[in-house]
């Protein structure tokens, strides 16, 4: 059995959905299909939810009606073209219209109550995948493939109630996922599961964080112990860097779990940063493939690290982050201060992305830029007043991560990396402490990030023989 996950661009319109049905029907092994929302739909839902909560009451209804029409039209036109069988088409049209109606009521509620909680936002986001899955399943059925759409929850994916960033309840999943999906697959039916969304133990809708459909795919793959988890997207695989910044980035054919995990963690959007772990735990290969160029072998993510000539395999960049610098001699005198800071931030749902070498009177760490205000609120309290003398925020920073097996053991590589940054006049603001064996990561100003990335790619990948293999 395998898992085939199709991202937003792969189900972006009827033409793409038909392409997906070709790929699924050609695959002779048993399979579970996982789908994202149609390209751009989650962004639209997110934007609308944030807009409607701030609208004057008199315009809520008309704005929601307009939005409802736009979303419904987009899906209906995909259904009319991709779901060819008349009876199936009718069923899917009915289901999607009902969903669009619920979306309309939910948005009205948010607008009139002027209240958008993380729980309501997850509910709004969920409509993207809940509308795309019936279309893909319907298109498959029209092609003679027995398929059935299911929500992540119906497929056994239960999470905690941390809306917007829910954690799977792993201890339960072995049972719930097997019980939900194995009987369906055994009957020869292809489950088409909504990626990204799940529910908590009280069946309240949750999400795994933006881009989380990849994570759904690897979790399902892990508990069904599949042969391979396939991530179908719009590029040939994991490339040596972000092709939007360096158009001649090269395809990587094999990469280890640890390397892929570091790349994703530090910004390579091609896979979700959490998706590798479940696959790695069960030693299941992950293959990233291009829906629009399916003959290309793609990238295979496996256990073994393979050192490439020149050592550097890929470079990633994570933007929209900020550095928080705490200074004060009191930091040195307060026992466990770092643990206290990180615990309190964690309790407020703020992730620490990176920590730099802390001296006795200095503690620096990196958070998402959107978390800065919340972090400052946590730290600006009576409790910390005695030990933190200054709290400095550097908002316009980005992280660059240089990744490759054997990095840490290679003499002089860090010096060469930092020299490359200096050659393009970038200042290194912070160097990560305790990066993994396979990466060296550091921060520069965001407006210097792209030029550092390009220079590193040129020096370490384009000019290194055998790199990009
Ligand atoms: P999907 O909708 O299929 O989940 P995403 O947009 O989430 O696709 O991820 C694919 C995109 O990731 C690519 O189009 C590419 O622009 C971007 N990307 C960033 N870094 C990399 C990288 N190192 N290798 C490949 N793609 C990358
Ligand atoms: N549709 C969701 C998003 O855009 C999840 C995903 O595509 O993986 O974030
Ligand atoms: Mg994605």
Task: Name the closest-CA residue to atom 8, ligand 2.
Answer: 211
Angle 92-224-303 (CA atoms, 0-180°, nearest 5)? 120
Specify the CATH number for 314-462; select among 3.40.50.2300, 3.30.2130.10, 3.40.50.300, 2.40.50.100: 3.30.2130.10
The whole-angstrom separation of Cα 150 and Cα 112 is 31
Predicted local distance difference test score (pLDDT) of residue 357: 62
**Residues with C-beta less than 6 Å from any ligand 1 atom:** 7-10, 36, 211, 233-235, 238-239, 241-244, 268-270, 314
Which residues is 251 bridged to in the sheet? 239
Q: What percentage of the chain has pLDDT greater than the value 70?
A: 97
Residue 468 vs residue 107, higher pLDDT? 107
Backbone angles phi, psi at 250, to 5 degrees: -105, 155
Write down the pTM of the prediction.
Answer: 0.95
Q: What CATH code is assigned to 2-234?
A: 3.40.1160.10
Predicted local distance difference test score (pLDDT) of residue 407: 84
Tokens representing residue 220 in the block: 């399902």
What are the tens digits of pLDDT across the range 392-401? 999 999 999 9
Q: Domain extents for the chain?
A: 2-234, 314-462
Say if residue 466's pLDDT is above 60: no
Task: Point out the ligand 1 atom lying closest to the alpha carbon of residue 234.
Answer: 14
* Helices 86-113 and 118-142: angle between axes, nearest 10 degrees: 170
Q: How far is the CA of 210 from the centre of ligand 2 (A)?
A: 5
Q: How far is the CA of 302 from the centre of ligand 1 (A)?
A: 19
What are the tens digits of pLDDT across the range 77-129? 999 999 999 999 999 999 999 999 999 999 999 999 999 999 999 999 999 99
What are the tens digits of pLDDT across the range 340-391? 889 989 888 899 999 886 677 788 999 999 999 999 999 888 777 777 888 9
The whole-angstrom separation of Cα 423 and Cα 226 is 47
Residue 468 vs residue 261, higher pLDDT? 261
How does DSSP classify residue 336?
T
| Least confident piece of the model among 270-284, 378-392, 402-416 | 378-392
Q: Which residues contact 347 (CB under 8 A, 6 or more apart)?
A: none
Q: Is the CB of 196 under 6 A from ligand 2?
A: yes
């Amino acid at each position: 059995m395998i898992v085939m996950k199709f991202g937003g661009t792969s189900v972006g319109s009827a033409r793409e959905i038909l392409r997906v049905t070709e790929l699924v029907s050609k695959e002779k092994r048993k399979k579970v299909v996982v789908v994202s929302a149609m390209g751009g739909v989650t962004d639209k839902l997110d934007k609308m939810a944030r807009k409607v909560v701030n609208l004057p009451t008199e315009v809520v209804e008309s704005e929601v009606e307009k939005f409802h029409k736009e979303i419904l039209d987009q899906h209906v036109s995909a259904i009319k073209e991709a779901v060819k069988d008349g009876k199936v088409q009718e069923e899917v049209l009915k289901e999607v219209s009902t969903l669009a109606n619920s979306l309309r009521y939910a948005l009205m509620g948010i607008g009139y109550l002027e209240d958008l909680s993380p729980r309501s936002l997850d509910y709004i986001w969920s409509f993207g995948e809940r509308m795309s899955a019936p279309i893909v399943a319907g298109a498959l059925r029209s092609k003679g493939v027995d398929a059935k759409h299911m929500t992540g929850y119906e497929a056994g994916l239960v999470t905690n109630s941390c809306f917007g960033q829910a954690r799977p309840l792993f201890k339960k999943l072995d049972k719930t996922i097997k019980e939900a999906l194995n009987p369906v697959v055994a009957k020869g039916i292809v489950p088409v599961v909504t990626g990204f969304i799940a529910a908590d133990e009280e069946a309240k809708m949750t999400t795994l964080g933006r881009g989380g459909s990849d994570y759904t795919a690897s979790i399902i793959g892990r508990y069904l112990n599949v042969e391979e988890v396939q991530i179908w997207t719009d590029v040939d695989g994991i490339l040596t860097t972000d092709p939007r910044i360096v158009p001649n980035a090269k395809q990587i054919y094999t990469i280890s779990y640890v390397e892929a995990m570091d790349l994703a963690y530090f910004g390579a959007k091609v896979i979700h940063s959490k998706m590798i772990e479940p696959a790695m735990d069960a030693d299941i290969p992950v293959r990233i493939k291009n829906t629009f160029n399916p003959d290309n072998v793609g990238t295979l993510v496996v256990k073994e690290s393979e050192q490439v000539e020149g050592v550097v395999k890929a470079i990633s960049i994570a933007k929209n982050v900020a550095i928080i610098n705490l200074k004060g001699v009191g930091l040195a005198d307060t026992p466990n201060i770092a643990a206290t800071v990180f615990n309190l931030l964690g309790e407020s749902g703020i992730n620490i992305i990176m920590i730099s070498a802390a001296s006795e009177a200095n503690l620096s760490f990196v958070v998402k830029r959107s978390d800065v205000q919340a972090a400052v609120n946590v730290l600006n309290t009576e409790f910390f007043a005695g030990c933190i003398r200054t709290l400095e925020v550097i908002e316009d920073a980005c992280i660059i991560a240089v990744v490759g097996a054997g990095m840490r053991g290679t003499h002089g590589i860090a010096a060469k990396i930092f020299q490359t940054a200096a050659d393009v006049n970038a200042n290194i603001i912070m160097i990560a402490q305790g990066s993994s064996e396979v990466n060296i990561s550091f921060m520069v100003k965001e407006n210097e990030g792209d030029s550092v990335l390009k220079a590193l790619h040129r020096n370490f990948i384009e000019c290194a023989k055998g790199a990009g293999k």
